[in-house]
């Protein structure tokens, strides 16, 4: 096992007290979206975020999330962004298009804008699966946003 005592290492930090977070939620499958949002905002607040440092916007569906996230990322007002929604499999190929392209869009924005984006868009086979996962996924999205935002701040501050 390697010996790391003399190597600088950043521990995970979920402190949200000094962060600003934007959330974009899809209104399609609104009940699932609201469950995701409730768990997400509860976790943000649990970790010290103030209501005044959280902005929530909604869009019609998951495919509209990346463009809105990009607009928010380019505003330089946020330390991290969170995408929330549910894409539930139907009888057509549309499920794969929406699931894949929304995820690809978020990744592209994240890399281009260099801002953490937590992907909390559920992709499930049915509504029961989405309901079962919404609380955990909302909480996890908040944790990812806080941890990676704090990590980026530390990386920007480090002098080695």
Task: Please enumerate, by residue number, every residue annotated as part of a binding site.
Answer: 28, 62-64, 86-88, 91-92, 119, 133
Alpha carbons within 13 A on the beta-carbon side of 146: 27
Choice among 27, 94, 104, 154 that is catalytic: 94
The annotation places the binding site for 5-amino-6-(D-ribitylamino)uracil at 28, 62-64, 86-88, 119
> Is 94 among the catalytic positions?
yes
- Distance between alpha carbon 78 and the CA centroid of its chain, in Å? 12
**Residue carrying the six token digits 């975020």:** 49
The annotation places the binding site for (2S)-2-hydroxy-3-oxobutyl phosphate at 91-92, 133
Residue 121 near residue 86 (C-beta atoms within 8 A): yes
Indicate the SS3 state at residue 19.
coil
Catalytic residues: 94
């Amino acid at each position: 096992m390697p010996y790391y005592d003399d190597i600088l290492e950043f521990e995970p930090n979920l402190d949200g007290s000094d962060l600003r977070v934007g959330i974009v939620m899809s209104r399609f499958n609104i009940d699932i979206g609201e469950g995701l949002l409730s768990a997400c905002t509860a976790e943000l607040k649990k970790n010290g975020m103030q209501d005044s440092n959280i902005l929530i916007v909604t869009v019609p569906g998951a495919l509209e999330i990346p463009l809105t996230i990009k607009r928010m990322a380019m505003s330089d007002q946020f330390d991290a962004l969170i995408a929330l929604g549910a894409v539930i499999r139907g009888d057509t190929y549309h499920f794969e298009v929406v699931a894949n392209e929304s995820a690809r869009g978020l990744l592209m924005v994240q890399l281009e804008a260099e801002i953490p984006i937590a992907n909390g868009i559920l992709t499930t086979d049915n509504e029961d699966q989405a309901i079962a996962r919404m609380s955990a996924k909302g909480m996890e999205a908040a944790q990812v946003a806080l941890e990676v935002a704090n990590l980026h701040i530390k990386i920007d501050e480090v002098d080695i």
